[in-house]
Amino acid sequence: MSILIDETTGVIVQGITGRDGSFHTAAMIEYGTRILGGVTPGKGGQQVSGVPVFDSVKEAVAKTGATASVVFVPPKFATSAIREAAEGGIRFVICITEGIPVLQMVATTAELAERGVRLLGPNCPGLISPGKSKIGIMPGRIHKPGRIGLISRSGTLTYEVVYNLTEAGLGQSTCVGIGGDPIVGTGYIDLLDLFEKDHGTDAVVLIGEIGGDDEEKAAEYIRTKMSKPVVSFISGRTAPPGKRMGHAGAIIAGGRGTAEAKVGAFREAGVPVADKPDEIPALLRDKLAAKR
């Protein structure tokens, strides 16, 4: 099993004719994802990697029956693309785009929540259920099907952790990047809850970073609501306060959002925190062995 997506998920790509959109459409199809079509206004009727391009999401959904959409549209138009997806009948929107003004996301997340449409991202690598489907930009071949769930605010750091897991023989059920912006759709707690209920997941790795207090809230959730083991890693222990570390959300502001506070919260909740990404497999094994 896996969460959110599997081999049956039908996907369209918004911004499919763009540089990133077309490149990753090909990579997703090669991985086995059911890419059913794409949308670029004004380019309906064309083909990209053998799938049809439509002028609107509504048309694409009507013709293909897709339920998920991945957005590669530039920041200026990204939130209208997300809204178009929600209005057009898509149930799960994955937004890869980086650089969307935060204020636009305030309104967009509220609107999608009202419609009951799930959003992942923005500024995220997407998600993958290894061996079944990947909707996003992560390199597929470093993953391996298995029973570890992974949640992360980062892209390449997630690859680093997956690489260590796979090398240690620990395959993954689903790996989800929630995005590095201050305001994102799906958060840690939504996903922890899904992994807790998923019969295909035995344990979860949570990769957090400085900024905000989502990690602290996740720690509290794990302590009170989760039976499955969780192992964590937090980046940004050496980040200076007041400086944005690449991700728009990765900033220590007014003394809040420090790595220290997050590490402390996890340890208090009984969640081991790795000092190095390559310690994660051993920590997982310990936790899983203790449970048996």
Partner 1 sequence: MKIHEYQARALLAEYGIPVPPGKVARTPEEARSIASEIGSQVVVKAQVLVGGRGKAGGVKLANSPAEAESRAREILALTIKELPVEKVLVAKSVEIKKEYYLSVTLDRARKRVVLIGSASGGVDIEELAVVDPGKIVIAEVDPLKGLTPGPAAEFSDRVFPTKRASEQGADALVKMYRLFVEKDCSLVEINPYAELPDGSLVAADAKINFDDNGVPMHPEIERLRNDEEYSRDEIEARTAGLSFVSLDGDVGCIVNGAGLAMATMDLIKLFGGSPANFLDVGGSSNPEKVLNALRIITGNRKIKAILINIFGGITRCDDIANGIVMARKKLDMRLPLVIRLVGTNEKEGRAILEREGLGAAERLSDAVKMVVARSKEGR
Q: Among all residues, which ones are annotated catalytic?
A: 247
> Which of 78, 85 has the CB closer to partner 1?
78
> Which of 85, 248 has the CB closer to partner 1?
248
> Which of 36, 127 has the CB closer to partner 1?
127
Closest residue by Cα to residue 152 from 233, 31, 268: 233
Q: Do the beta carbons of residue 233 and residue 262 sit within 8 Å?
A: no
> Which of 42, 240 has the CB closer to partner 1?
240
Task: Copy the structure tokens of residue 184.
Answer: 């994102």
Site for partner 1 (CB under 8 A): which residue of 57, 117, 135, 137? 137
State yes or no: residue 237 binds partner 1 (CB under 8 A): yes
Between CA 139 and CA 146, with CA 129 as vertex, the angle to 5 degrees is 100
Site for partner 1 (CB under 8 A): which residue of 150, 206, 207, 271? 207
Q: How far apart are CA 169 and CA 166, in angstroms?
A: 5
| Contacts of partner 1 in 55-94 (CB under 8 A) | 75-76
CA 44 to chain centre: 29
The nearest distance, CB 52 to partner 1, in angstroms, is 25
Q: Do the beta carbons of residue 237 and residue 260 sit within 8 Å?
A: yes
Q: Do the beta carbons of residue 178 and residue 215 sit within 8 Å?
A: no
The nearest distance, CB 248 to partner 1, in angstroms, is 6
Assign 209 to helix, strand or coil: strand
Binding residues (CB under 8 A) for partner 1: these are: 19-20, 75-76, 98-103, 105-107, 109-111, 125, 137-139, 142, 152-160, 163, 180-183, 207, 209-214, 217, 233, 235-240, 243-250, 254-255, 259, 275-278
